[in-house]
Amino acid sequence: MQQVKFGGTAGEQDGLAELVKNGQKVATSTLKFFQDEGIIEPTYAGDQWLIVNSLDEPICEVVVTEVRYRPFGEIDETFAIEEGDGTFENWHQIHRAYYGQLLAEYGQELTEETILECIYFEKVS
């Protein structure tokens, strides 16, 4: 089972793990660019993850229920809330900065057409 930690800082990792545990975070996203470059493997429905906090302590287990590929510019408020960011504006601000920084490290730029892997999951324990 793959261990998954959401967020960049210890506070984010702990907070997002708790949102998964409480059923408030039921989705996540990543840049398809990383799959295209062979940096990460694609995610598939049926994949099982162990969600861990900043100390790598197990918080809960989830199963991936669906994977969709969507342009950054087509992410909507529903997905932003499912990802645990509260509002679309908050999601957009966080992810524009985060994905922009990640892509810049590879000489790439985040655009409205940048494809995201949008992953939906549900807690199983």
CATH of residue 95's domain is: 3.10.400.10
pLDDT digits (tens, 9 = 90+) for 37-90: 999 999 999 999 999 999 999 999 999 999 999 999 999 999 999 999 889 999
So what's the pLDDT on residue 121? 98
46: domain range?
2-123
Q: Does the pLDDT at position 104 exceed 90?
A: yes
Structural domain count of the chain = 1
- What is the pTM (predicted TM-score) of this model? 0.93
Contact (Cβ atoms closer than 8 angstroms) between residue 110 and residue 55: no
So what's the pLDDT on residue 65? 98
pLDDT digits (tens, 9 = 90+) for 10-21: 999 999 999 999
pLDDT category of residue 92 using cuts at 50, 70 and 90? very high
Question: Rounded distance, CA 29 to CA 71, Å?
Answer: 11
C-beta atoms surrounding 8 within 10 Å: 12
Q: Beta strands 115-123 and 48-52: pairing type?
A: unpaired
pLDDT category of residue 8 using cuts at 50, 70 and 90? confident
